[in-house]
Structure 1
Amino acid sequence: MQGTRTHIFWDAPFGRRHLIPWLIKFGYPPSPREKTIREEDPAPLEIVFTGAGSLLPSDLTDNTIRICIGAEPDKKTNFFLQTPIAPRALAHLLANLRHPEKICCYTPGIPSDFMEIIPWLDSLNTGNAAIYLPELFQYIDGKRADTAVIPLLTDKIQTLLEKNPDLLLLGLEQGGLRTKIICARTAGQLDLKEALPLMLNLLHKSQIPDESETLIRAIGMFSTPAARECLKEEATGEDTVRALAAIESLGKNHASPETFRLLSSLIDHAEPIRAADAASALAATDTEAAYEALAEHLHPEDALVRKVVATLLVRAGKKAVLPVSRTMDKGSPQEKIMGALILGYMGLEEAIGPLCGQLRHPDASVRFSVCEALGRIASEKTFIPLTAALEDSNQDVVCAAITGLNYQHPKTGANAVRQAMAARPQRKSTLIAAIAAMQAIDLFLGLSEDRKTTKAIVQTAAESRNPLLLHRFLKACASMENPITRQGCEAMLRKAIEEIPPERPRILVADDSPTMRRFYETLLPQYGYTVETARDGLNALTRLQTDPARFALVLTDLNMPNKNGIELSMSIREKIGTDLPILMVSTETLENQKTIALQAGVNAFLSKPFTTEKIIARIRSLLHPDKKKKKES
């Protein structure tokens, strides 16, 4: 329209930056508005572009065309342009200002038929992106968007935005939810610094979980102090979803001493999921400082977090040996036990020295854990410390040493046991009991030349009344060279098998310690129970789900890989029911650990070390609660 004046009253920097070039191209260059001169007759035609909430001059004449820019029309305006402004829609509107009835006839250039969209998308390129991207933004944000093509559109939009940063900024400022998510993600990938203030402002206002989470992850890709401060604030904020996104981003892209201190402090957070994610974020940096910080938390209060920390340190391997060792040196008995567990699962020679340094600790549970760990490391260097542990005054420690020698040093281990028996005859019965209880078949065969010792081991095994144990020893007897010894042992074992009652309550034991599994297999059958063992909670749950009616009771450790005792108990209660009694046995002694276990569905909690009388009494009380009530009454 000749003589028309165009003015913009719209507080949207990137929207204005997008609109002005198109107005110039269409012949409507915008200019600052001056007050109307009264003598001017007739008043010139004015086109005013205004955003929602914008203040307009009070002297606008009746000859003014008001065009509202926004998400929805303003009642005070004549015409409306949806944001982000599509150039084709703008051109159509300007061309038909004198013919309002034609304006509503405008249709976007996006095909409505699904089969036509794919070739149309192929036709889009950086040359026509400025024309069609705003329409695409409107389409994917609208209610009529075909969800089947949203993934295709998203990929295409991201590709086009990579070459059109101005349109990316426009989408962030003017777009709807889907558009903002796509633009934020792309801005982060491009490290588009100009977008960061806009994204920070959007995050501050965002109340939509998907939007805020995407914004945080995108902001996390920027390496600026402003981005880092935002992440730290979100990581410690009240919103858990936002905090988890910030924690992950800190670990991925913002490794620094300050970040390590923050993540380390979050491992003690009251929310287990936030604490576990903080541990994972530390490990994701894969730095010595991060593993030092992680090792400072060998024994978090929450069992889930404890399992996550242990798993991460085991995966770190050599990088975590020294950090774990340092914490063990200065830590509590519980930290030493967890440290030994971690070093053992690493299975590295570098861990042998630090483990041996704890073999003289006054706490038998620590020495037991160390021997178990040494028994997991395939190295000749573990032979001497395991042999030395045969002299330990604690029977459990001796059992762990026997297990380690049987697994890692079967030939030399038998000689070591023989020499220990000869050097200290008073210890012979202890070693024999340990070999039988731990089902140390290789050591048993290595000692089979001594008929008296062999017979004593078989006699002890026979007293266990454990069918599985007895059959293992019976099978081993076939390898004996001395026929007299072989026949005598076989007869003794067969007789013991025949005397076992056919029907007995079956207990499922879940424990990652091979020594403890063997211990239960030996002890419990002596008191009339059949035992099945599982190496962790996941394996135990699989057996239970196959045939839950087979088991009268579950006896579980707390700290295990894959699925710990707390997780196992919760799964049992959720998937199997409340009737199956659960007894948890652990080195954990803190009252809050017992409380957490009971809340997870555990019926009784027993701390290690325990006496035979105590564990049998606890099992009987769980299997026969009525008898306990009568006794108490």
Structure 2
Amino acid sequence: MDLLVNFSQKDMIEQITILDEIQANGQHAAVPALFDIYALPLPDVAVDEMVYHALISLLKGQDALILTGLGHSSPRVRLLCIKAAGENRLSAALPRLAEFLQSGSREPELLTETVRALARMDEPEILDILLPYISHQDAAIAGLAMDKAARSGGERGRNALCRYISSVSSDMGTEETLGVGLAFARLGSFTDDKTVDFLISHIHNRNPTIRKIVHEQLIKAGEIALPRLAGTLAAGNRDEKIMAANIIGLIKHKNGANIITDLLDSRQPLDANLRFAAYEALGRIPSMRSIVGLTDGLAESDEMILIAVVTGLNEIYNPGVARALNEALRKDAGQRAAILSALVAARAGRLFTAVFQDGACLEELLDILAASHNQESISFFKGLLAAMADDRAVGLLKKLETGAQVSGGRSILAADDSKAMLFFYTSSLAGMDVRLTTAEDGQQAFNLLKSGERVDLLITDLNMPNMDGVELVKEIRNSLKLDIPILMASTESEKSQTELARQAGVSDFITKPFTREQFISKVTALFR
């Protein structure tokens, strides 16, 4: 084409003008000449990029030209036409693309774009071509093959993902962790029972990162996963049962409440951590069965579990909860103080309002609140009373006028995705010369530390969303280079998990369930 003769020798303005004219007029006859120009990079990167975009534009819907370009002698042109074939979903290019793969090209970009182009096409035979690449060492290529397997929605795609996961050693490295994590994430596209069974078989995967992804996919599966999770509650080991209860709560389906309350009503002895997880799960599921299960839980004697019960009731509060709470408070004077203390620790505003309106136990509640030395709770409930247009509330506010707040000589950061646990920490540390900051997951805790927040002690859970405890500790030790003492709380019975945490840099461990006294003893020891 005359316009393109000696193109590389023209000045940049003229080159741009020519390319604009060709593209604007859709001059497809210019494509072969543009192929030859693009074959060797132009000195001006901007013009070279314009040639690329002009070709991509001109090749839309031009199957014959794309096929011609796939046979060009220049790798640059072939790569461009591979991308064009994918964007055009050009099934006629399938033999040529398959040939590129079979040739075992050592050019990573050519291989990646070939797989990407094939993944965009819908021909049935493409799945068989791409499935072997699920285990490819390049994460981008493996991810594209996994995407194709997931989009197939069929048994072959699911089985290929499961086989790959099963083939990888449990002692996987970073790259293998990434690949397995991608495969588990893609399994979330399948909603059949076999997929759910496979996910549940990895519910307690020893790798915290993989475990988190597995849990996310089970939550995503929703109601279909509940019968299988119920089976884990019945037959799993201690840790698996706790994790199943947590996932059921996060699914938030009313059938999950039936499963959890059946567990609590069963005559089998339940581990304290499992009871804690069960009540916390009910607090996430608004249903009558949840209310019944949680109101029954007001009889619990363990302080930590009772805080979980009260937190749950406050989350799913309705008039029936108010009646049940006040009945429980009047019924058992011995348990009443424990329930009111849990209400204070949990800053359960809705339950506080129910006690205020009933009036029978209000004075005792205020006495417990004033004696708690829990400045966060006192400030919270003072705010509630101040917002009430009630003369009685004004009088009660005066009772809560306390002396100077604790100075907080040392600073503690507590990270846990359980509200009940954070409330327990706040209540337990009240009255000590510390300032407590809380974070709902590892990422929040890391961001606080990264921003320069002064912290003298970190308390962290092991299993958390977004960033788990092991990841958090690694980031603190390796990225932030902080040498602060770290106390890790966990329900884990498997030593491999605590060993991972110890290697990451945890200073000491405390195993749930633990008492207020045990917790304070650990904190005091780490401050020495």
TM-score, normalised via structure 1 length: 0.71
Question: What do residues 195-215 of structure 1 show as CA deviations (whole Å, max 9, x unaligned)?
Answer: 334323323422233222222
* Distance 1:462-1:261 versus aligned 2 partners, 3 A rule: farther
Task: Provide the residue aligned with 1:616 in structure 2.
Answer: 520
Aligned equivalent of 2:472: 568
Question: Residue 170 of structure 1: CA displacement?
Answer: 3.5
Say whether 1:390 aligns with 2:298: yes
1:502 aligns with 2:502: no
Cα separation, partners in 2 of 1:166 and 1:345, compared to 1, 3 Å:
same
Gaps of 5+ in 2: none
Match for residue 494 of structure 2? 590
Partner of 1:82: none
CA distance in 2, matches of 1:418, 1:429: 13
TM-fit CA distance, 1:477: 4.5
Query: Post-superposition shift, 1:225?
Result: 6.3
Task: Using the TM superposition, give the Cα deviation of residue 400 of structure 1 relative to its aligned residue in structure 2, in angstroms.
Answer: 1.3
1:247 aligns with 2:146: yes
Indicate which of 114, 120, 126 corresponds to 1:221. Answer: 120
For residue 518 of structure 1, report the CA deviation from its aligned partner: 0.7
Mapped pair 1:300 → 2:205: yes
CA contact (8 A) 1:463 1:526 kept: no
User: Could you tell me whether the CA contact under 8 Å between 1:548 and 1:576 is conserved in 2?
Assistant: no
Once the 2 structures are TM-superposed, how far is the Cα of residue 278 of structure 1 from its aligned partner? 0.9
Instruction: Give the Cα separation in 1 of the matches to 2:426 and 2:478.
Output: 28
Task: Please report how far the alpha carbon of residue 126 of structure 1 lies from its aligned counterpart in structure 2 after TM superposition.
Answer: 11
Label 1:193 to 1:302 Cα distance change in 2 as closer, same or farther (>3 A).
same
One of 473, 478, 483 as aligned partner of 2:381:
473
Measure the CA separation in 2 of the matches of 1:189 and 1:449.
Answer: 66
Residue 70 of structure 1 corresponds to which residue in structure 2?
Answer: none
Contact between 1:414 and 1:444, CA under 8 Å: does it hold in 2?
no
1:245 Cα offset (Å): 2.9
Q: Tell me the distance in 2 between the aligned counterparts of 1:354 and 1:173.
A: 61
The reply on whether 1:259 has 2:157 as its aligned counterpart is yes
Residue 117 of structure 1 deviates from its aligned partner by 3.1
Other-structure match for 1:136? 34
Does the CA contact (< 8 Å) of 2:254 and 2:285 recur in 1?
A: yes
Q: Distance in 2 between matches of 1:111 and 1:352?
A: 74
Q: How far apart in 1 are the matches of 2:25 and 2:104? A: 32
Cα separation, 1, equivalents of 2:482 and 2:427 = 28
How far has the Cα of 1:487 moved from its partner? 4.3
Cα distance per residue 1:308-358 (max 9 Å; x no partner)? 333344345455555555555544333333333333334333432233233
Q: Which residue of 1 aligns with 2:106?
A: 207
Q: Which has the larger radius of gyration?
A: 1
1:523 offset after TM fit, Å?
0.5
The answer on 1:314 being equivalent to 2:219 is: yes
Alpha carbons of structure 1 residues 609 and 199: separation in structure 2 relative to 1, 3 Å: same
Q: 1:381 Cα deviation (Å)?
A: 4.5
Please give the root-mean-square deviation of Cα atoms over the aligned residues, in Å. Answer: 3.5
Paired position in structure 1 for 2:183:
278
Deviates more, 1:183-192 or 1:118-127: 118-127
Change (3 A) 1:426 1:209: same
Which stretch shows the higher mean deviation, 171-180 or 447-456? 447-456
Within a 5 Å distance, the mapping from 1:497-536 to structure 2 comes to: 497-498=403-404, 500-536=405-441
Tell me what 1:59 maps to: none
Alpha-carbon separation, structure 1, partners of 2:45 and 2:204: 47
Residue in structure 1 matching 2:132, options 230, 233, 247? 233
Q: Is the 8 Å Cα contact of residues 139 and 145 (structure 1) preserved in structure 2? A: no
2:71 counterpart SS class? helix
CA distance in structure 1 between the aligned counterparts of 2:255 and 2:318, rounded to whole angstroms: 22
Query: Partner letter of residue 437 of structure 1?
Result: A
Distance 1:218 1:436, change over 3 A: same
Q: Please tell me whether the aligned partners of residues 108 and 135 of structure 1 are also in contact (alpha carbons under 8 angstroms).
A: no
Q: Measured at CA, do residues 312 and 217 of structure 1 come closer, stay the same or move farther in structure 2, by a change above 3 Å?
A: same
- Kindly state the Cα deviation for residue 463 of structure 1 after the two structures are TM-superposed: 4.2
Amino acid at match of 1:472: F
The 2-side partners of 1:114 and 1:363 are apart by 77
| Residues 131, 145 of structure 2: 8 Å contact kept | yes
Question: Structure 1 residues 570, 134: closer, same or farther in 2, change over 3 A?
Answer: farther
Deviation at 1:282, TM superposition (A): 1.9
2:70 is matched with which residue? Answer: 172
Query: Which has the larger helix fraction?
Result: 2
Q: How does 1:419-568 map to 2 (within 5 A)?
A: 419-448=327-356, 453-478=361-386, 479=388, 483=392, 487=395, 490-491=398-399, 493-495=400-402, 497-498=403-404, 500-549=405-454, 551-568=455-472
Distance 1:328 1:159 in 2: 57
Distance 1:586 1:216 in 2: 43
* Secondary structure at 1:205 match in 2: coil
**Match in the other structure for 1:75:** none
1:50-449 matches, within 5 Å, as 107=6, 113-114=12-13, 116-117=15-16, 119-123=18-22, 129=28, 132-144=30-42, 146-203=44-101, 204-223=103-122, 227-252=126-151, 254-267=152-165, 269=168, 270=172, 271-284=176-189, 290=195, 293-318=198-223, 320-321=225-226, 324-325=229-230, 327-359=232-264, 360=266, 362-409=270-317, 411-448=319-356
- The corresponding residue for 1:578 is 482
The separation in 1 between residues aligned to 2:293 and 2:472, in whole angstroms, is: 34
CA distance in 1, matches of 2:161, 2:306: 40
Report deviation, 1:507.
0.9
Partner amino acid for 1:578?
A: L
Shift in Å at residue 600 of structure 1?
3.6
Q: CA deviation at 1:451?
A: 6.8
- Distance in 1 (CA, whole Å) between partners of 2:481 and 2:367 is 41
3-state SS of the aligned residue for 1:584? strand
CA contact (8 A) 1:417 1:431 kept: no
Amino acid at match of 1:470: I
Q: Distance in 2 between matches of 1:553 and 1:265?
A: 43
Structure 2 CA distance for partners of 1:290 and 1:110, relative to 1, 3 Å:
farther
Residues 330 and 465 of structure 1: is their aligned pair in 2 closer, same or farther, counting only changes over 3 Å? same
Is the contact between residue 89 and residue 117 of structure 2 (CA under 8 Å) also seen in structure 1? no
Matched-pair contact (CA < 8 Å) for 1:461–1:470: yes
Deviation at 1:534, TM superposition (A): 1.7
Match of 1:603 among 503, 507, 516: 507
1:234/1:243 contact within 8 Å kept: yes
2:96 alignment partner, SS class = helix
Aligned-pair CA distance for 1:524: 1.7
* Mapped partners of 1:264, 1:442: distance in 2: 46
Q: Equivalents in 2 of 1:342, 1:585: separation in Å? A: 19
- Residue identity matched to 1:618: K
Tell me the equivalent position of 1:39: none
Residue identity in the other structure for 2:161:
L
Runs of 5+ unmatched residues, structure 1: 1-86, 89-105, 625-633
Rounded Cα–Cα distance in structure 2 between residues aligned with 1:556 and 1:296: 27
CA distance in 1, matches of 2:51, 2:65: 16
